[in-house]
Amino acid sequence: MHAHFLDPYQPRPSLIHALDPRVKLMLALAFILAAALIPIGAWPAYVLLLALALSVVMLSELGAGFVLKRSALALPFVLAAIPILFTAKGAPLWSASLGPWAIAISDAGAQRFFSVLLKSWLSVQMAIVLAASTPFPQLLLAMRAVRIPRLIVAIFGLMWRYLFVLVDEVLRLLRARAARSGDPDAAAGMGWRKLTTRLTARRGGTLAWRAHVAGGMAGNLLVRSFDRGERIYAAMTARGYDGEVRAFPLPALPAGQRIILGGGLALLSLLVFLGYLV
Amino acid sequence: MNTGFTAEIEHLSFAYGDGHQALRDVSLGIRPGEKVALVGPNGAGKSTLMLHLNGILRPNSGAVRVGGLTLDDKTVGRVRARVGLVFQDPDDQLFSPTVFDDVAFGPIYQGLAEREVRARVARALADVHMQEYIDRVSHHLSVGEKKRIAIATVLAMEPEFLVLDEPTAGLDPRARRGLITLLRALPQTMLISTHDLRMVAELLPRTVVMDGGRIMADRPTAEALADAALLAAHGLEL
């Protein structure tokens, strides 16, 4: 039982996959920064940004459907932007009164809201392409290259490694519970016996009892993880770990990759500039 | 001080923080090239003893010497370079994102140059016949593969003394056979804690029986395994 489904990496023979992970990480971060910097309501610039994002998705060969489905994950976060609709000052587009309260959506509010929606949706798409086109170990190397502190990168690495071990453990626990969650024979069939069984022995137990079991499982998992942490630390110490994170120096970025990085950064700066012009 | 032993334990006693006395006056000497089995029921103190050989646990009383070095705060780093400790659960041993990172961990911490590290990783993976796994991700491996990689992670440190905790536990017969063949080919001095007495009979000429934190017997394997009373007294089965 292995939780491979958690790994976002999707191998494809695409140009995006072949890029140096450092270039990918820097360009993805630059894209998100550019999206954040383009002013509210600069719709022509947004269209160009959308075109850029779509080209990257197409080039990555991940399939637009795959990226769109995953990007829906970002939708709940948009809820946080909903108040903008009502709070921004401007000409009202729509209003309603709820008893003593009156609420109105203003044109400025709508423009801001849809700008934020589009920007965050595009940014999430870039993050999805980055994660799906770069194996995680390479992403860790890229994080080191952009000077994210080594200790934090090491923690990401351990987290990623043990996420799968932990989820495997959860799946085993759930399977063990499922294997012992049977129905009594008497619960099958019709009639009087079934009714009495239902009344006297509730199948699946009470909600409180089930919550108790789930709580026990969560506690069990915490204790197991804690013990595992101790053992991992012992294993690291046994091989000389002394609290300092060490790794090889990274190889230099090839000239071709530098050109792609420079070109990408220039394009994104141009987009931001255009955003201020329109 | 060189006593002619690869590892020497003298009157070692140890109690855990909760007061549980795990080791009581344990003395044991292992000579260069010896292959020793450490057997006994669960809770006998086998794993505790092994953790002492690497300085992860420190004795309450007594001493541990490895390769002529008495283990203390000053020598612990050099002792760890001499002793390759392989933990029972390979998921504890393999903590890096890729197989390469894991095998390179020990050599990097020894401060070796990148070229030497790469050479050692290649050699260690070749020793366990896993060269083609170098770029693989640890959680995609089978238990048998993980066990082999776990052994490679310590071989890369070029230790003189290998200490393995239950290497054949949880392996299917084919993976177990492969692992025994692998261990037979390794020249290092070895101490193997195990319940697998058939492996002991095949691989390890000397057997140390532990129970209740004490060493109960230390004999040639053939003799120990022929002693039905000894095996029965300590819950061992061939």
Largest CA distance in chain A: 81
Cβ pair B37, B208 in contact under 8 A? yes
Quick check: helix, strand or coil at residue A201?
coil
| Residue A234 to residue B56, Cβ atoms within 8 A | yes
Q: Is residue B179 part of a domain?
A: yes
Element (H, E) at B36: strand B35-39
**Model pLDDT, residue A200:** 58
CATH code of residue B34: 3.40.50.300
Edge-to-edge strand ranges of the sheet holding B7-15: B21-30, B7-15, B61-66, B69-70
**DSSP code for B170:** T
Strands B21-30 and B7-15, sheet pairing = antiparallel
Q: Cβ of B47 under 8 Å from any chain A Cβ?
A: no
| B229/A256 Cα distance (integer angstroms) | 74
Cβ pair A16, A138 in contact under 8 A? no
Which residue, B141, B143, B97, B104, is CA-closest to B122? B104
Mean pLDDT score of chain B, rounded to an integer?
92
Neighbours of A92 (CB within 10 A): 12
Q: Is residue B112 part of a domain?
A: no
| B46/B23 Cα distance (integer angstroms) | 9
Cβ pair A48, A271 in contact under 8 A? yes
Q: How far from the centroid of its chain's Cα atoms is residue A79's Cα?
A: 16
Mean pLDDT score of chain A, rounded to an integer?
85
The residue range of the domain holding B18 is 7-90+159-233
pLDDT of A239-271, one tens digit each? 988 888 888 888 889 999 999 999 999 999 999
Chain B hits for A158, CB-CB cut-off 8 Å, are 95
Mean pLDDT of A169-197: 73
Q: Is the dihedral of CA A259, A262, A266, A272 positive or negative?
A: positive
Cβ pair B133, B125 in contact under 8 A? yes
Largest CA distance in chain B: 54
**Model pLDDT, residue A1:** 47
Q: Cβ of B188 under 8 Å from any chain A Cβ?
A: no
| A19/A7 Cα distance (integer angstroms) | 20
pLDDT of A2-58, one tens digit each? 556 677 888 888 889 999 999 999 999 999 999 999 998 888 999 999 999 999 999
ipTM for the predicted complex:
0.84
Contacts of A196 (CB under 8 A, 6+ apart): none
Binned at pLDDT 50, 70 and 90, residue B106 comes out as very high
Strands B206-211 and B214-220, sheet pairing = antiparallel
pLDDT of B159-213, one tens digit each? 999 999 999 998 999 999 999 999 999 999 999 999 999 999 999 999 999 999 9
| Residue B114 to residue A4, Cβ atoms within 8 A | no
Q: Cβ of B133 under 8 Å from any chain A Cβ?
A: no
Q: Is residue B46 part of a domain?
A: yes
Number of domains in chain B: 1
Q: Which residue, chain included where needed, has tokens 């669960």?
A: B42
Reported pTM: 0.81
Task: Report the percent of chain B where pLDDT is more than 70.
Answer: 99
Q: How far from the centroid of its chain's Cα atoms is residue B80's Cα?
A: 12
Q: Cβ of B107 under 8 Å from any chain A Cβ?
A: no
Angle between helices A150-179 and A136-145 (to 10 degrees): 160
| A12/B86 Cα distance (integer angstroms) | 37
Minimum distance, in Å, between the CA of residue B185 and any CA atom of chain A:
23
Q: Cβ of B139 under 8 Å from any chain A Cβ?
A: yes
Q: Is residue B38 part of a domain?
A: yes
| Residue B95 to residue A231, Cβ atoms within 8 A | no
Contacts of A130 (CB under 8 A, 6+ apart): A24, A25, A28, A139
Mean pLDDT of B15-37: 94
Chain A hits for B50, CB-CB cut-off 8 Å, are none
Cβ pair B230, B217 in contact under 8 A? yes
Which of A83-87, A212-216, A263-267, B121-125 has the weakest average pLDDT?
A83-87
